[in-house]
Amino acid sequence: MPLKKSWIDSANDPAHPFPLNNLPYGVFSIGENEPRCGVAIGDMILDMAAAEETGLIALADYPLFDVPFWNDLMAEGPTVWAALRDRLTDLLADGADGQEAVEQLLVPMADATLHMPFMVSEYTDFYAGKHHATNIGTMFRGAENALPPNWLHIPIGYNGRASSVYVSGTDIRRPWGQLKGPNDDKPRFAPCARFDLELEMGAIVGTDSTGPITVQEADDNIFGYVLLNDWSARDIQAWEYQPLGPFQAKATATTISPWIVTKPALEPFRTDTPAREVELLDHLKDCGPMLYDIELEVTLAPEGKSETTIARTNYKEMYYSSAQQLAHHTTAGSPMYVGDLLGSGTISGPGKTERGSLIELSWGGKEPVTLDSGETRSFLEDNDTLTLRGAARGDGYTIGFGDCTGKLLPALDDPYKR
């Protein structure tokens, strides 16, 4: 599919992340004004509340954009999702009628503050990248036992904290936790010393379900995608995870990019999951190309220094798709809700520079990563800024998500001081 031309010139730049082919959804504010829903087009944002108030957008007999989140639109279902995309394309395409009316509703992205684009109902994170799982397993159990016996049969996951999902640009504070090293006689309570990132994609559920659903139904229920950084306290995790898995090690924060890239924008980039080493059971089998060709990168910037790209990989390296994760999530009857967020799991490729976490890049701290500044990192240091970026590249256009950025602040001197 080639570039769809817009009358907004910046949207026609082949390198710009927000062409007419994209039209991602976010929430913005200008100055002291209240946050509002907006659609990114080039270097501008279309004010959706104003578009609805003026009648340029009319999807229901009641307002959908009088709130600062996209959940109400999601709850209307795929038919309304498609109607909105068609209407936005009509309004913003080159040669569209009524350009003057639309121009009055555009605000410069440079003037906007971006907020959480949706209310997160519940959050589940998966461990569904084979290269990542193999690397981690090899470090801790040896190559012959790298993958757990169930890994090739089901997408493994854990229930995370919706309350600590934050939008890009939110500072993250190094957590305290209970730690116990291999040579320690007893655990101690101290700041995390091995804080890490995990490069992931997040899938947003747009349709409720009340029982088991198929992989195809799950794919239909996904509204869109964001970049996701699953901040991870490795030393807290090492002590707590036996026998039930991650808990406080993953509760500090999860950062997402500010724009929801909807599934139609990504359709031209669908690609197959990797070849299966073990045949999946029928309820998890692929029903077509289930992944997307999305180039991903991670940069790290120490305070006052320029950023260094420390990893590049691609979403197509995942072993299980978000649709398979969602379908698996429903098998026991668990309802899924509009606004549920599913983390893909760390996305790593086969090469050393394609690893989506520092624990992999530094091989558990044994091979520190050298930055352009000459500094090295085994794990994150205070005041480091991490940025995730993603792009799907089409014929003369780019589908982007906006940066997914967070700065790590030092731990509190005393977390219980009041």
pLDDT tens-place string over residues 378-414: 999 999 999 999 999 999 999 999 999 999 999 999 9
| Cα→Cα distances 272→160, 279, 291, 324, Å | 28, 15, 6, 13
Q: Is the pTM of this model over 0.85?
A: yes
Q: Where in the chain is the domain with CATH 3.90.850.10?
A: 123-409
Rounded Cα distance, 17 and 397, in Å: 8
Residues 6+ apart with CB under 8 A from 157: 124, 125, 126, 127, 128, 325, 328, 329, 345
Contact 167, 256 (CB under 8 A): yes
Phi-psi region of 49 (alpha: psi -120 to 50; beta: other; left: phi over 0): alpha
Asked if the model's pLDDT at residue 1 lies above 90, the reply is no
Q: Is 104 helix (H, G, I), strand (E, B) or coil?
A: coil
User: Is 132 annotated in the active site?
Assistant: yes
Contact 283, 212 (CB under 8 A): yes
Condensed to tens digits (0 to 9), the pLDDT of residues 306-358 reads: 999 999 999 999 999 999 999 999 999 999 999 999 999 999 999 999 999 99
Nearest Cα to Cα of residue 239 among 276, 190, 275, 283? 190
* Tens-place pLDDT, residues 220-259: 999 999 999 999 999 999 999 988 889 999 999 999 999 9
Q: Give ranges for CATH 2.30.30.230 in the chain.
A: 9-115
Dihedral sign computed on CA atoms, order 138, 139, 142, 145: negative
d(CA 81, CA 323): 18
CATH superfamily to which 123-409 belongs: Fumarylacetoacetase-like, C-terminal domain (3.90.850.10)
Choosing from 132, 283, 328, 329, which is the catalytic residue? 132
- pLDDT higher than threshold 90 for residue 418: no
How far is Cα 225 from Cα 333, in angstroms, rounded to an integer? 24
Of 322, 345, 321, the closest CA to residue 157 belongs to 345
Placement of tokens 């992944």 in the chain: 291
Angstrom distance (rounded) from CA 240 to CA 158? 14
Q: Domain 9-115 class?
A: mainly beta
Per the prediction, the chain carries an average pLDDT of 97
